[in-house]
Structure 1
Amino acid sequence: MKNFLFTKNSDLLRQKVYESWEVVKQWFVSTPERSLAQAYDAAKKIRNIEIEYFNNQIISAASVNETPNVMSYWQSILTQNLTIIKLRLAEFQSSRTLLEISNPVLLEKLQFIDEVIEKYQQQTLIISKVNQQSVSQPLKIDSEIYQNTSNVVNPATNNRSIGFLPSSIGRTINRITTDFSPNAEADFIRNYHISQNRTRTSVRFLLLLIVIPLLTQRFSKEFLVSPIVERVRSQQITAIFINSEMEEEAFKELKTFEEQLKFQTLLKKTPSLSPEEIESNVKEKAIDIAQKFRKKSQEAISNVFADLISLVAFAVVVANGKKEIAAIKSFIDELIFGLSDSAKAFVIILFTDVFVGFHSPHGWEVILEGLAEHLGLAPNRSLIFLFIATFPVILDTVVKYWIFRYLSRLSPSALATYKEMNE
């Protein structure tokens, strides 16, 4: 009866895995056509807007005479559809090997999409340059210094910081002049939409970097790896324990159970048990412990393969998101440079104290032991202590070098605040 139920459950699980695989396979096979169709629809929307509202010209303030608010609306629609085209074409290019590319209909769609987006490539470059120039002067200087990884300091940067009047006065005058410009409102709205889109892109991509590997690890372990590992281990005689620590833990649990039985018998809390009855109870407990640790071993083996699959998924997301990574870098730079000096010093002190501070070895020890247990490895105390003795030291050296090499030029006042707070 037990074998029948096990076989029935295995068949149901196999059928469920097969159905899920067919759904995923069908979705993946249809990805090229679906991606190209979505990009084509977005291109048609842009083309229809050009014909109906911009006299068959590009969507730009130079084509028609509209108010800044109306142009901001059309610009947001254009940006949204161009983003859809970019993402869907990237998805199509990465999966086009599954599709016959010589199909005339597909080639016509690709040609139409290229004709639509080609007109906006130069305009996008111009908007990007204007957006970079509209950033405040301190942020611009900090970004240039941050991106400069060579040992040579840019003379123009040094010359720009030396003058008869403080540079902040010049920046204030430039900001007032910009505020009185006739295009100040349109520039502000345009820069706001660009910053908004960049923030949305960065947050969405960061969520994808977290969610996709986690979901991949969970579902691959549940529906793919675990059934395979369970079937392989059930078809052949395998060891119950995959490391010595599991074995010691099982023996300790069994010994504790046996001592509890004897203790309760001596205290007359349970009916007197003969040695044969005690042995029978211990034997049943041993079987339960063996099943428990066999399942624990299967979980550890499944974790290894599921983690590898999730790493592959993470690498795929990173490889297909180079532009999003650049947006994240710009977003983080703007976020960090926007902090006050005391906030920057607080973040640095918090980071260094958590990862390389006095109490950090205990945290590293807990993390490494948890990782070893997750992968089914016996924690090696010597290796753990060796890691704790070397890695935080290396990390502390890197942080100190960064503070000495870059923070002194990025924000000298933040460096002074950091020294005062650290002392």
Structure 2
Amino acid sequence: MKLRNLFRDLRRWYVGTPDRALDEAYQGALRIKAIEDEHFQGEPVSAEAGPDYCDRVLTYFESEVKNQIRTINLRLAEFRATRQVVGPGDSLGETAQAGIIIDKLNFIDEILKHYQPIAPSERKKALSLIPVDPKNTAAVPQKPPKKPSLPTPTKDKLASAGSKTGAVPRSILNTFSRVKRELDPQSLGSEGEVVKKFRQARDRTAIAVKFLLLLIIVPLLTHQLSKTFIIEPLIERQFFTTESEIVFLNQDLQEEAFRELEHYEKTLRFTAMLGLTPELSEREVETKLKEKADELAENYRQIGASSVSNVFADLCSLFAFGWVIVISRREIQILKDFIDEIIYGLSDSAKAFLIILFTDMFVGFHSPHGWEVILEGVSRHFGLPESRDFNFLFIATFPVILDTVLKYWIFRYLNRISPSAVATYKTMNE
């Protein structure tokens, strides 16, 4: 019975693949449309539609649009491939659903034609997969074919091209254009539009900050609650009772307890010799040492139970973090845009300063001491014996790998996005 239900669920998931792929392509087109409406007055993403933006911001928006277009093309290819295999009768069955699919495809085509021309064959491939009722179809008047004509440059494009090579720098022309738009009450940059953009930015910032706090609070809260009320009491009851033989989780904890007991014995004898405490007989010293040993055994049993509980509590925290990520795709996109806006909004000197701070902290000259402290803390957190050989091997390899990845990122991406920041970084590093 369970196997039959599993196959039925798998078949339902596979049959719904075309609709799911088309929905993802449609969502990508909606994201492009949102960027156009919010930042480029409903026009395609270009320097002419957003003259107020610097080259780095335009590069960011263009990369976002390219990513969405790549997603749309992949999902449309998945839609066509799975549609041919599944067949129209398996997932549609109603003409109304076919109309919804046609509307989505038309909307996607309207968005994509601003950035890449859609071949008629590709459009026919997608539309031919949609069932149409012959009774509800009507003859569509055929328009006479137009003669191909050479594209004529528009006035705006000529003006933008002239501004790039004219005597007056484009930045000055953009400044005059921005001042004119701010003074004109009928322009799109009026007070109402500014207030609307401010509210949208405020809402996005609030959502990003709340989601970031959620990513931190939910795993920590899950760790503490699961460890305190479920995992640690169960571990103590099963493995670390007073009758059990397990006292120390590893050899390092045992040696630490022996040193503490030896220090306690020397303290007793030293204070008695100085007359600070009454002189104790050997029997009294043995009694006090036994009490101290019982106390140490109880403490180190709790340390062992806590270390074992940390392993399972960390797994619960990891599952909670993954669950938040899975159910918050929209918030992840907003947080990504928020972080990108902060990073791209930094000056070149600030970017170079943060890069130098990060590299010196984790891969610099003094970083081995920090990595050693981190590794010791992780070992103690999970109750593992400290291995100096492993620590030295990790310190000798991981920072080198991290430094290589960072240099590749600077060479491959940062040099293309912000070359001035790379130049500032090299100057400050020298």
Q: 1:264, CA displacement in angstroms?
A: 2.6
Q: Distance in 1 between matches of 2:299 and 2:40?
A: 64
Contact 1:356/1:392, CA 8 A, preserved across alignment? yes
Q: 1:364, CA displacement in angstroms?
A: 1.2
Which residue is 2:131 aligned to? none
Q: Distance in 1 between matches of 2:422 and 2:62?
A: 15
Contact 1:139/1:334, CA 8 A, preserved across alignment? no
Alignment of 1:214-233 (within 5 A): 214-233=220-239
1:200 aligned counterpart, secondary structure = helix
Q: Deviations over 1:24-62 (max 9, x none)?
A: xxxxxxxxxxxxxxxxxxxxxxxxxxxxxxxxxxxxxxx
Q: Distance in 2 between matches of 1:141 and 1:367?
A: 41
State yes or no: 1:212 paired with 2:218: yes
Q: Which of 183, 204, 219 is the equivalent residue of 2:188?
A: 183
Q: Deviations over 1:369-414 (max 9, x none)?
A: 1111111112211111111111111111111111111222212222
Q: Distance in 1 between matches of 2:308 and 2:329?
A: 33
Q: Distance in 2 between matches of 1:127 and 1:351?
A: 35
Question: CA 1:189/1:269 → structure 2, altered by over 3 Å: closer, same or farther?
Answer: closer
Question: CA 1:229/1:351 → structure 2, altered by over 3 Å: closer, same or farther?
Answer: same
Which residue is 1:164 aligned to? 165
More helix as a share of residues: 1
Which residue is 1:131 aligned to? 38
Q: 1:352, CA displacement in angstroms?
A: 1.2
Q: Which deviates more, 320-329 or 201-210?
A: 320-329
Q: Which of 398, 402, 408 is the equivalent residue of 1:401?
A: 408
Q: 1:126, CA displacement in angstroms?
A: 4.4
Q: Distance in 1 between matches of 2:245 and 2:328?
A: 43
Contact 1:145/1:410, CA 8 A, preserved across alignment? no
Q: 1:174, CA displacement in angstroms?
A: 4.5
Contact 1:146/1:406, CA 8 A, preserved across alignment? no
> In the alignment, residue 224 of structure 1 is paired with which amino acid?
I
Question: CA 1:393/1:122 → structure 2, altered by over 3 Å: closer, same or farther?
Answer: closer
Which residue is 2:5 aligned to? none
Question: CA 1:410/1:385 → structure 2, altered by over 3 Å: closer, same or farther?
Answer: same
Q: Distance in 2 between matches of 1:170 and 1:380?
A: 65
Q: Distance in 1 between matches of 2:31 and 2:410?
A: 36
Contact 2:257/2:296, CA 8 A, preserved across alignment? yes
Which residue is 1:289 aligned to? 296
State yes or no: 1:203 paired with 2:209: yes
> In the alignment, residue 399 of structure 1 is paired with which amino acid?
L
Alignment of 1:86-125 (within 5 A): none
Q: Distance in 1 between matches of 2:35 and 2:290?
A: 74
Alignment of 1:1-400 (within 5 A): 126-133=33-40, 136-143=53-60, 163-165=164-166, 166-179=169-182, 180=184, 181-185=186-190, 186-233=192-239, 234=241, 237-400=244-407
Q: Deviations over 1:329-388 (max 9, x none)?
A: 111111111111111111111111111111111111111111111111122111111111
Q: 1:420, CA displacement in angstroms?
A: 1.4
Q: Distance in 1 between matches of 2:200 and 2:294?
A: 64
Q: Distance in 1 between matches of 2:380 and 2:173?
A: 60
Q: Which deviates more, 208-217 or 171-180?
A: 171-180
Q: 1:416, CA displacement in angstroms?
A: 1.6
For normalisation by structure 1, the TM-score amounts to 0.64
Q: 1:328, CA displacement in angstroms?
A: 1.1
Q: 1:172, CA displacement in angstroms?
A: 2.9
> In the alignment, residue 314 of structure 2 is paired with which amino acid?
D
User: Superposition RMSD on alpha carbons, in Å?
Assistant: 3.0
Identity percentage of aligned residues? 47
- Residues paired across the two proteins, number: 296
Q: Distance in 2 between matches of 1:209 and 1:261?
A: 50
Which residue is 2:80 aligned to? none
Contact 2:56/2:418, CA 8 A, preserved across alignment? no
Q: Which deviates more, 399-408 or 198-207?
A: 399-408
Contact 1:142/1:337, CA 8 A, preserved across alignment? no
Contact 2:414/2:422, CA 8 A, preserved across alignment? yes
1:357 aligned counterpart, secondary structure = coil
Q: 1:294, CA displacement in angstroms?
A: 0.8
> In the alignment, residue 367 of structure 1 is paired with which amino acid?
I
Q: Distance in 1 between matches of 2:188 and 2:61?
A: 27
Q: Relative contact order, CA 8 A, sep 6+: which one is greater?
A: 1
2:165 aligned counterpart, secondary structure = coil
1:378 aligned counterpart, secondary structure = coil
Q: 1:177, CA displacement in angstroms?
A: 4.9
Contact 2:272/2:278, CA 8 A, preserved across alignment? yes
Question: CA 1:243/1:123 → structure 2, altered by over 3 Å: closer, same or farther?
Answer: closer
Q: 1:125, CA displacement in angstroms?
A: 6.9
1:184 aligned counterpart, secondary structure = coil
1:242 aligned counterpart, secondary structure = coil
Larger radius of gyration: 2
> In the alignment, residue 57 of structure 2 is paired with which amino acid?
K
Contact 2:59/2:417, CA 8 A, preserved across alignment? yes
Gaps of 5+ in 2: 1-27, 42-49, 68-115, 117-159
Q: Distance in 2 between matches of 1:412 and 1:146?
A: 17
